[in-house]
Chain A
Amino acid sequence: MNNRIHKLTVALAGAVALGGATLPAAHAAEKIKVGLMLPATGTYAKLGTAITNGFKLYVDENGGKIGGLDVEYAVVDDESDPAKATENANKLVKRDEVDVLVGTVHSGVAMAMAKVARGTKTLMIVPNAGADELTGPLCAPNVFRTSFSNWQPSYAMGPVLLEKGIKKVVTLTWKYSAGLQAIDGFKESFTAGGGQIVKELTLPFPNTEFQPYLTEIAALKPDAVFVFFAGGGAVKLVKDYAAAGLKDSIPLYGSGFLTDGTLAAMGGAGEGLETTLQYADGLDNARDQAFRGGYAKAYGSAPDVYAVQGYDAAQLLAAGVSAVKGKIEDRKGMITGMEAAKIDSPRGAFSISAAHNPVQDIYLRKAQGELNPAVKVAAKALADPARGCRMQ
């Protein structure tokens, strides 16, 4: 039933998108067809909206064009459901014949999309999903990412903790690939610098009964705890951690998703938490300030990291289109253009690695009210190791 309702909405959304765009496009000489495959319903709906807003903001700023071409959208709600991912991606590629796939939030869905993109040689830009595989074993000449790899933000935290004199750490995350990859990234830099992981705790996703783990952490008495959580789980963990009296005796650190969009719900328990991420509030650059002003004006809310990643997906695509002067049949030329692009992102400029992942600064942020202002750059121009990537 769920299925049928969603299919209906998707069909309606598709009809609206097509009806609105195909007619004028028939007269336009040149256009680029963008397939937005993002979550519009379910847990990640808000992230999907932010990415779409970011993408469209760039297009609107450039007179409705990308690299000089008119833009036509085909939209699919991926529902963050990996089981429907291949079918949805095929719909965009085969039925709608999009020139580029943009998506998505959920890593499992993004990996299925990447397989379709590889098979059909369709250009693809990932605006969020952090699975290391996407720019690792699954990397492909036509697959790019404008967000991060799970490895990146947490890898940057290792040296930060060592610098604070922290030697023994307990890690805690959900037992799913995003969490485990993030913990591995942290472990790599932390142990390389002489730190010790006392215990790696995991709990089944999406269980949030943390009490047994907090008791265990109190018994182990590490110097600090490093976690990967997001959304509702992050809110509950931070509140439980504070209520158990651990916040003052054993400091909590995490990958930045812990405190992104969750601080208000934590109700003060998140104050002062230090996290690492590729974006922060109050960055001292004009590009970011212009972006934030424009976003607030267009959508009436402050942008978040997801909006930035969507905006940069459009920028990266524009770099490719500009490189071939609008002749997007020249797929090879577009890819070369995108590989060479220097993206002037609100997060700070970044370049694209050989595996097509951003080589970017990772910020250390300290939660203050409902914001995550940057304390410093934790890792300069950090590139994902892209293990298992063999471009062909």
Chain B
Amino acid sequence: MDIFSFLVQTLNAVQYGLLLFLVASGLTLVFGIMGIINLAHGSFYMAGAYLAFGLTSATGSLVWAIVLGVPLAMLVGAALEALLFVHLYKRDHLEQVLLTYGLILIFEELRSLIVGNDVHGVAMPDFLAGSIPLNDTLSYPVYRLAISAVCVVLAIGLYFLIQRTRLGMMIRAGSHDRDMVQALGINITVIYRVVFALGVAMAALAGMLAAPISSVGPNMGGQVLILSFVVVVIGGIGSVWGALLGALLIGFADTFGKVILPEFAGAMVYLVMAAVLLWRPEGLLKKGA
């Protein structure tokens, strides 16, 4: 591999890692702060992609689709929390798995009933549709770079929200001791609802942003769900920075695994996960870091 290819592959790895972070961050929030194992996270990603498809067709632009879609996803998230997830906080993980797995089936079936089983594409906004030529044969799509930028902004925003705001302080406190926070006069029910809605919105946003560069189709949430869990576990459950670090690590492992050890490309991500967990069973960064 010459230096040019190496640099482009590094860009590929960072870009893929940031996209993974975007999906996984919502999962780590809900998992780490609320203690909910949400298998339906991939379905929210899929729902986001289909929202992007539907709203882009209706409004004519992905930007509008996102502007309308994110609040919609938050509402759906808040409603799901109020109706279903609120009953799960005191229950064990098996029941959470049962409920959220059930949600996967329901979402897939709804998708099949409402939009059918076809594969769809979503047009990217015109002002991001171009490519930057890197040499005489290879170009880099501007849209992918734009997604990376959005991911970086969101990572910083999320960090700021959790570490530097009053709401973030309450969220952090709530994740440590729900009852004590409530005793101090803070409405923890509302806080949890906000966190869950935020988690759903992050997954849906990831789906919307990824829609133009992936194909929108059946079972698209499954792949993403597995990788998100890998990222969350590597990073340390509940740690936003950990998720970012884990996502980048997986981005590099996947990209360079495919190039350097193509025979093991399928196993590379999981080998890295196993190695990290042997070294640090709790993940790279512990909760709250």
Contacts and interface: CB of A to CB of B under 8 A. Distances in A.
Contact of B139 (A43, A244, A267): A244
Given A213-B258, A215-B8, A239-B213, A249 B131 contact: no
Interface residues of A, number: 45
Given A207-B266, A235-B119, A267-B123, A244 B141 contact: yes
A2 B102 CA distance: 9
A236 B265 contact: no
B121 A267 contact: yes
Contacts of B148: none
Interface string B89-105: 00000000000011001
Interface in A193-236: 201-204, 206-209, 211-216, 218-219, 221, 231-233, 235-236
B259 A249 contact: no
B191 interface: no
Given A211-B16, A233-B215, A264 B255 contact: no
A245 B105 contact: no
Contact of A215 (B105, B138, B213): B138
A266 B121 contact: yes
A246 interface: yes
A236 B213 contact: yes
A213 B257 CA distance: 11
A213 to B, nearest CB: 7
Nearest to B257: A212
Nearest to B1: A219
A232 B117 CA distance: 11
Contacts of A219: 1-2, 4-5
Contacts of A45: 112, 117
Interface residues of B, number: 49
Interface in B167-226: 213-220, 223
Nearest to A175: B266
Given A207-B223, A264-B121, A245 B139 contact: yes
B214 A249 contact: no
A72 interface: no
A235 B105 CA distance: 25
A231 B217 contact: yes
B259 A211 contact: no
A209 B254 contact: yes
A249 B112 CA distance: 39
Contact of A43 (B117, B121, B141): B117
Of B214, B216, B219, B258, most buried by chain A (CB within 10 Å of CB) is B258
B5 A211 contact: no
Contacts of A216: 5, 259
A46 interface: yes
A243 B132 CA distance: 10
Contacts of B116: 46
B12, B117, B141, B256, most chain A CB atoms within 10 A: B117
Contacts of B121: 235, 239, 264-267
B147 to A, nearest CB: 12
A43 B12 contact: no
B138 A246 contact: yes
A8 interface: no
Contact of B218 (A43, A240, A243): A43
A204 B265 contact: yes
Interface in A22-64: 41-43, 45-46
A302 to B, nearest CB: 13
Contacts of A218: 8, 135, 137-138
Nearest to A245: B139
A5 interface: yes
B136 A265 contact: no
Nearest to A211: B12
A262 interface: yes
Nearest to B16: A209
10 contacts: A45-B117, A46-B118, A202-B262, A212-B255, A215-B9, A243-B143, A244-B141, A249-B137, A265-B118, A267-B121
Given A42-B218, A232-B218, 4 more contacts: A2-B105, A207-B265, A245-B137, A249-B136
Interface of B: 1-2, 4-5, 8-9, 12-13, 15-16, 101-102, 105, 112, 116-121, 123, 131, 133, 135-141, 143-144, 213-220, 223, 254-256, 258-259, 262, 265-266
Nearest 9 interchain pairs by C-beta:
A245-B139, A204-B266, A218-B138, A232-B215, A265-B121, A235-B215, A243-B141, A232-B217, A211-B12
